[in-house]
Structure 1
Amino acid sequence: MAVNEVYQYSIVSALMDGVASHGTPIARVLEHGDHGLGTFRNMVGEMIVLDGDVYQMKADGSVVHVDPATTVTPFATVTRFRPTVTIRGAVTGKAGLKDLLTRLIPKARNHFLIVRMDGVFRRVNVRTAGGQLTPREGMVDVCARQTTHTFEGVKGTIVGFRCPGYVMGVNVAGDHFHFIAEDRKRGGHILEFETDGDVDIAAAQMSQFRLELPTEDDEFNEAELKLQAQGIKAVEG
């Protein structure tokens, strides 16, 4: 794929319906991008793809560098990231980032954005999911057992996407970000954050979107895949 095109494997509504027993090798996903987010088989932990490396952030607080050739994902979104906008600035919370991105790229309301932030963060609140207890357990129930962590004065990287409202259920409408510390020992799905002064912020607007759906997967074939917008908003924070 060309730079700044979105590649996505499966859809968020499938996770909501508990479709997570199978998937595709992460190595195949990396053929399409070097930055992104996702989860792992049975929704065990949070995925962050950073400069082509893949990390699994688990509910016990540990982080594992993943071998993409031997690990499977039931859902992932990636892009071959090349920034078109770069600045240094301070950001207070998701709302502050939303306002900043709207100012930086004002004509992207109905497009995808990829965002990366590097620097020191005064506070980062994250959650990590421990995984399904039974096959087909939905994401709402999985995330009801999620573990939350707060990191203070931590240097690291935030990566994520802003997706337009009309893709809710296919992806997560709005802002969806994951964090990993510079030492690669802490991280998770961001609930809230605040930078400690200025950080490096890079972003790109994207208008090309490629979706690949699971094949030969009975769970996916049998799932209702009805839009559960409120449930997605609840679990994604």
Structure 2
Amino acid sequence: MQTPKMVEPVPNEIYQYSIISALMDGVASHGIPISSLLAHGDHGLGTFRNMVGEMIILDSTVYQMKSDGSIVPITSPAEVITPFGVITKFEPTQRVKACISGKEDLAKLLKGLLPGARNHFLSMRIDGTFKKIHARTAGGQEHPREGMVSVAGRQRTYTFEGAKGTIFGFRSPEYVMGINVAGEHMHFISEDRLRGGHVLGFETEGEVEVSVSMASRFHMELPTGDEEFNEAALVQDSQGIASVEG
């Protein structure tokens, strides 16, 4: 029997495993190996089994950012599970240097760079020094099916000042709220790989390099054989998502 050929990911196509509403309902005990996620790209974000920490993927390297402030590179991705992850083979079509005063300023910049992408997905990477970054990391579920709002109630928040590093994330259109996070969903990791988390707010220190690409292809895979997912209500909770995702 021939070994199936690996299919190379399409540049800037977005692959997503599961949906954000599943995390809201506490569907986080199972998932796919991170190695399976990496088959679809080299830049992304997500979380880990039982929502223990934040995930960032840069140049095919995966990092777990934990609530105690530690950051662990995932060296055996076939052995680590993600219940929710989003990834792309990132090949930016626009690059610019800019000063950014916050998320609203970033939204204006993205609109100017890709004015025809209002209803498309965007992938973005920001490299440079940040005057301030407000970030959080989730400590994980205390019991199976504990919802994300409850988990976020115990999250740790950090303010990093003068931090050099990288933000990576996605901007998703409004119509996918509940499937993903509408608007910007971004994670940060410092250049020394010692600080990071889910970005709640930020301001750059001078100019940073902003790289962006538009995605017109979005591929989603839903969990199968997962009792938690099968029994979840999956009712859209826009207010709850906004409260935990910032």
How does the TM-score come out when normalised to structure 2?
0.96
- Residue 237 of structure 2 is matched in structure 1 by 228
Is 1:35 the counterpart of 2:43? The answer is: yes
1:61 aligns with 2:74: no
CA deviations 1:53-91 (Å, max 9, x no partner) are 000000011100013111000000000000000011111
In structure 2, distance between residues paired with 1:137 and 1:31: 29
Aligned pair partner of 1:101 in 107, 110, 115: 110
Query: Residue in 2 aligned with 1:190?
Result: 199
DSSP 3-state at the match of 2:240: helix
d(CA) in 1 for partners of 2:185, 2:223:
22
Question: What do the CA deviations read for 1:11-54 (whole angstroms, capped 9, x no partner)?
Answer: 00000000000100000000001001100000000000100000
Aligned residues between the structures: 237
Q: In structure 2, what is the equivalent of residue 48 of structure 1?
A: 56
Q: How far apart are the structure 2 equivalents of 1:81 and 1:191? A: 23
Number of the residue aligned with 1:135: 144
How far the C-alpha of 1:116 sits from its partner, in A, is: 0.1
Q: State the alpha-carbon separation in 2 of the partners of residues 215 and 184 from structure 1.
A: 34
CA distance in 2, matches of 1:52, 1:92: 29
Distance in 1 separating the partners of 2:160 and 2:234: 35
d(CA) in 1 for partners of 2:120, 2:51? 27
User: Kindly, what percent of the aligned residue pairs are identical?
Assistant: 62
2:163 and 2:174 map into 1 onto residues whose CA distance is: 32
Match of 1:119 among 125, 128, 151: 128
1:139 positional shift: 0.2
Output one character per residue of 1:134-162: Cα deviation in whole Å (capped at 9) or x when no partner: 10000000001110001111100000000
SS across alignment from 2:78: coil
Residue type at the aligned position of 1:86: R
Could you say which residue in structure 1 is the equivalent of 2:98?
89
Aligned partners of 2:177, 2:131: CA distance in 1, in Å? 31
Provide structure 2 residue ranges, at least 5 long, that are not aligned to the other structure.
1-8
Structure 2 residue identity aligned to 1:167: V
Work out whether 1:146 is the aligned partner of 2:149. no
SS in 2 for 1:156: strand
Q: Secondary structure at the match of 2:36?
A: helix
Query: Cα RMSD over matched residues?
Result: 0.5
Task: Tell me the CA shift for residue 94 of structure 1.
Answer: 0.6
Quote the residue 2:6 is aligned against: none
Q: Distance in 2 between matches of 1:193 and 1:113?
A: 19
Query: What does 1:213-224 align with in structure 2 at a 5 Å threshold?
Result: 213-224=222-233
Task: Provide the residue aligned with 1:202 in structure 2.
Answer: 211
- Paired letter, 2:128: G
